[in-house]
Amino acid sequence: MTHPMQELRWPTYALRDLVLDAAVPDERGSLRVRDSAGRVYLDAVNGVGCAPLGHAHPRWVEALTAQMQRLSAAANSFSTEPQRRFAAALVARMPVPDARAFIATTGTETTEAAIKLALRATGRNTIVAFERAFHGRSLGALACTANTAYRHPYVRCLGESEPAEPFATARVLRLPFGDFDALRRAFAEHGAAIAAVFIEPIQGEAGVYPASREFLVGLHGLCREHGALVGADEVQSGFGRTGSWSAWAHIVGDDPALAPDLMWIAKALGGGFPIGVCLARGDLAQAMGKGTHGTTFGGNPLACAAGLATIDILERDGLLAAAAAQLPTLQAIAREEPCARVHEIRGHGALIGVQVGKPGEQIGTAVGDRMMRDHGVLVTVCGGHTIRLLLPYRAGADELREVWRAISRSLESEAT
Ligand SMILES: Cc1ncc(COP(=O)(O)O)c(C=O)c1O
C-alpha cells in the first residue's frame, strides 16, 4: 500500500508507516513521542540526533519564544547579539585554534563551506576523503561522500571545460578509513596537491565506526608535514554527543598542537532547530573574502538563540557527562543480558552502533520495524547492519535497558 504521505513528497525516503504528532511533555526534555493514533515511542532516532535535550525542553522553548518575539530574521550583512554570543560560545568550546565561524543551516552546507575554504586557503585542488564517508548530498559534499547509491549519477555532472583556477578542477581522492599506510602513500604521491583531509572522527551513517587516536594523530602529522589542512566533519559526532564538545577532542585529547584546522557541526547544534557551523582557524578564514560564500538563513537570530539555550542547558544540567555514560551503560546491560545475534556494540557516548549478525551480513530494516511496532522504540539502521542509537543525552540506564530488550526481543522473534 502506498503511504499517504508518499503521494505528496518526493519518494526520496523509505517512509515508515508512522505519523509523528507530538512529544510527551516532560520538564527535563521529552525522550518520548506520540504518533497520530496516540501510541507512545521511546525516540532513539531523535530527528537523527538533532534533539540532544530531548524534545521541547521547556527552557529551550522559552528562549526561542523570547527571541521570536524580539527579532526573527536578520540579513547576514548585519550582525545580531544572539549570533555574536553563539559564535563566541562555540569558539570557546571547540578545539579549532583562534576560530572564526561560518554559520549555516544544515550539515551539508557546512561541508560545502569547508571544501571552498580548503581549496581557497591552500590553492590546491585535492581533498582526501574516506571509504564509507558521509559528508552530505549537495554536489560538492556528495563528491566527498562515498556511498555510490547517493552519488550516482551526479558526481562530475557539473564539470567545467576550461577551468580558470587550479581548484576549478578539484577532485576527491578516496582512501580506506583507518589505513595509515594508504594515507602516507597518497601524501608521498600527491602531497603537493592535497588541500585537506576530511574525516568523520566517528563515521555515523556508515554504521558508527570510530577512528582510533593513533590514526587521527598520524593523519594530523602527515597533513602538517605536507601543508594540508585537517578537516573534521562533526555534523553527527559533535556538540557533546560523545561526552566532549567534539569527538576529535574526545578521541585525540585537547593538546592544541593536535587540533584540526577546520571543524563543522550541525544536527545537535540547535537542540532541534536547524543550524550548522563551519569553524576555521582565523588565518585560514581570511581566504574567504567578500562574496566568496553566503547563505540567507545561516546565523538566523532564532537559530542562534536556540543554540545558545542548548549550550546553557547542556552545561547546567551536566548533560555531557550523561552522554558519555551511555555507551558503557549499554555495554554493561548487554553483558548482563547477552544476545547472541549482536556482533558488536561500538561508538562513543551517545552515538552508539549495535551491529547485528556476522560481519558483512545485511539485516535490512526489519529489525528496526519490529522494534517500532512490537516494542515502541524508534531507531534507524545504518550501513545495512547496524542499529544506531542517537538518544537525547540525559537518557540513562532505564531507557538503555528498554532499547536493549527491544533489540534482543526483536532479533529473537525474527529467528523463530
Ligand atoms: C557526518 C555528516 N556530514 C554531513 C551530513 C549532512 O548533514 P545534513 O543532512 O544536515 O545536510 C551528515 C548527515 O547525516 C553527516 O552525518
Q: Over 60: is that where the pLDDT of 2 sits? A: no
Last residue of a domain, one of 316, 346, 377: 316
CA distance 269 to 233: 13
Helix (H) or strand (E) holding 199, with range, is strand 194-199
User: If you average pLDDT over residues 120-148, what whole number do you get?
Assistant: 94
CA distance 14 to 11: 7
Max Cα distance, the chain (Å): 63
pLDDT band at 184 (very low <50, low <70, confident <90, very high): very high
Half-sphere exposure at residue 40, Cβ-oriented, CA atoms within 13 angstroms: 6
| Minimum CA distance residue for ligand 1 atom 4 | 135
Task: Check whether residue 291 and residue 322 sit in a common domain.
Answer: no
Residue type, 283: D
Note whether 276 and 109 are within 8 A (CB).
yes
Q: Over 60: is that where the pLDDT of 159 sits? A: no
Instruction: Give the chain's domain count.
Output: 2
* CA nearest neighbour of 410 among 375, 358, 381: 375
Q: Over 60: is that where the pLDDT of 218 sits? A: yes
Q: Is residue 28 part of a domain?
A: yes
Atom of ligand 1 minimally distant from the CA of 106: 10
Rounded to the nearest whole angstrom, what is the distance from the C-alpha of residue 136 to the centroid of ligand 1?
A: 5
pLDDT single digits (tens) 27-38: 999 999 999 999
Residues 6 or more apart in contact with residue 289 via CB below 8 angstroms: none
Is the CB of 233 inside a 6 Å radius of any atom of ligand 1? Answer: yes
389: domain range? Answer: 4-56+318-415
Rounded to the nearest whole angstrom, what is the distance from the C-alpha of residue 114 to the centroid of ligand 1?
A: 13
pLDDT band at 162 (very low <50, low <70, confident <90, very high): low
Q: Over 70: is that where the pLDDT of 163 sits? A: no
Q: Classify residue 5 by its DSSP letter.
A: G
Strand partners, 127: 172, 196
Task: Check whether residue 244 and residue 167 sit in a common domain.
Answer: yes
Atom of ligand 1 minimally distant from the CA of 266: 10
Is the CB of 237 inside a 6 Å radius of any atom of ligand 1? Answer: no
Atom of ligand 1 minimally distant from the CA of 48: 14
pLDDT single digits (tens) 241-278: 999 999 999 999 999 999 999 999 999 999 999 999 99
Is the CB of 200 inside a 6 Å radius of any atom of ligand 1? Answer: yes
Q: Is residue 9 part of a domain?
A: yes
Q: Over 80: is that where the pLDDT of 169 sits? A: no
| Proportion of the chain above pLDDT 70, given as a percent | 95
Sign of the Cα torsion 129, 132, 133, 136 reads positive
Q: Is residue 250 part of a domain?
A: yes
CA distance 393 to 69: 29
Task: Check whether residue 128 and residue 9 sit in a common domain.
Answer: no
Here the CATH number for the domain that contains residue 355 is: 3.90.1150.10
Q: Over 60: is that where the pLDDT of 160 sits? A: no
Note whether 239 and 286 are within 8 A (CB).
no
Task: Check whether residue 262 and residue 401 sit in a common domain.
Answer: no
User: If you average pLDDT over residues 221-246, what whole number do you get?
Assistant: 98
pLDDT band at 4 (very low <50, low <70, confident <90, very high): low
Q: Is residue 66 part of a domain?
A: no
Mean pLDDT over all residues of the chain? 94
Rounded to the nearest whole angstrom, what is the distance from the C-alpha of residue 276 to the centroid of ligand 1?
A: 10
Q: Is residue 303 part of a domain?
A: yes
User: If you average pLDDT over residues 365-393, what whole number do you get?
Assistant: 95
What is the SS3 string spanning 159-177? Answer: CCCCCCCHHHHCEEEEECC
